[in-house]
Amino acid sequence: MRIPLLDFGRIAPDEKGELESAFRRVLESGHFILGEEVAAFERECADFLGVAHAIGVSSGTDALLLSLESLEIGPGDEVICPSYTFFATAGSIARTGAKPVFADCCPGCWNLPPQEVRRKLTAKTRAIIPVHLFGQPATMTNLLAVGQEAGLAVIEDAAQAFGASSDGQKVGGRGLLGCFSFFPTKNLGALGDAGLIATQDGALAERIRALRVHGSRVKYRHEWIGGNFRIDALQAAFLRARLPRVEAALEMRRRNAALYEEAFRASGIAALSPEPCRCQGEERVAPKVTSPLLLPRNDRGEHTWNQYVVRYPTDRDGLRRFLSEEGVQTEVYYPLPLHQQPCFLDKGREVDELPVAELLARESLALPIFPGLSPGEIQRVVDLIVRFVSQKGNEA
């Protein structure tokens, strides 16, 4: 039995039918870039997210880049972001000419802690980009407070957390700008590349709409230097077909996370990761845990479990190889933290030590959790891990 990290083929027949009719609708309209389909998609996303404006763009990466450009962030500026995230978060900052300043992550929830942001503030800091990592909301209330105190823009990288919420609000709608990706592995996946920017700010929304088409509001008159950041009508139509099902898909992810936790706890080899979340400022000492496998916690808000990431300090790579031989696909998010990436090292910058990011890069392993995964498959993944971990334990 092969268990993939994500099986794109497992689309319910009725959903397939809806995707096909979306394709036919666009084909027959003859309108393939922006237009009615995109406008309708943007309205539906704005409603879903509870924001005034949603702007469809070409990818999550482009959503980040466009957000930074709309704030005229560039050379001489600094932007604080976590080191333990997908490359695009920091890559977008660097592409504007600004300097990404890497912060360590919280040992509990693995998100950007407000006190780490405070430590990294300088006179050049213009913005902070918290990431709702693996689908779990960062502590927006506290991060927004730091942003407000220091006069900084808060741009949410919500690429992995479409539909997640905290304090009764959807993520991506609380910062000045919120960036989403519809890459096929994300909570809401297109059949190709697509992204979205959410904001309550009408003036910024207007500027972003212009920057999306080479900085022009009136054809062939360019007020700013923008680019081609357009979303295809076809992707917008596919996403419209899928949006009404996204809550059900998130429920399945939550169910799968609960099944993993239950099965792992019953196995006796695993316990919830003991380090408390430090994002609210409290400094509690982690209780001693002797279990070899550490499970992810839900510290805040409505987690969407875009990834289910366990830690196995003893031999993560060995476990991964074993699972691969048994037909179970896993992934390491992320094997090299961004502050250690070659492209950020050779600029003569001092290399920080960010111990939590470095630890997670060594120990973490993402297991399959996509909505179509069956309880039997989850049990098989757990059984295989128990077998490997017990064997390792006996060897030791």
Ligand X SMILES: *Cc1c(COP(=O)(O)O)cnc(C)c1O
Q: List alpha helices for the chain, DSSP H.
A: 13-29, 35-49, 60-70, 87-95, 114-120, 140-150, 202-212, 233-242, 246-267, 316-325, 342-345, 355-363, 375-395
Name which of 111 and 125 has its Cβ closer to ligand X: 111
Helix (H) or strand (E) holding 128: strand 125-128
Name which of 66 and 319 has its Cβ closer to ligand X: 66
| Closest CB 213 distance from ligand X, rounded Å | 19
Radius of gyration of the chain (CA): 21
| Closest CB 259 distance from ligand X, rounded Å | 24
Name which of 156 and 275 has its Cβ closer to ligand X: 156
β-pairing verdict for 364-367 and 169-170: unpaired
Which amino acid, 81?
C
| Closest CB 83 distance from ligand X, rounded Å | 12
Cβ atoms 198, 51 nearer than 8 A: yes
CA distances in angstroms from 104 to 65, 206, 336, 391, listed in the order given: 22, 34, 13, 34
Q: Which residues of the shown chain bind ligand X in the complex (CB under 6 A)?
A: 59-61, 85-86, 88-89, 131, 157, 159-160, 181, 183, 193, 195
**Residue 296 has which token pair?**
């992810």
Phi and psi at residue 244, to the nearest 5°: -65, -15
Q: Which residue in this structure is represented by tokens 């990834």?
A: 307
Nearest to 205 by CA among 42, 90, 383, 31: 42
Name which of 112 and 176 has its Cβ closer to ligand X: 112
| Closest CB 348 distance from ligand X, rounded Å | 26
Name which of 158 and 385 has its Cβ closer to ligand X: 158
Q: Select the residue whose beta carbon is closest to ligand X and give its number.
A: 60
| Closest CB 179 distance from ligand X, rounded Å | 7
Cβ atoms 7, 371 nearer than 8 A: no
| Closest CB 195 distance from ligand X, rounded Å | 5
Name which of 187 and 322 has its Cβ closer to ligand X: 187
Name which of 125 and 306 has its Cβ closer to ligand X: 306
| Closest CB 58 distance from ligand X, rounded Å | 8
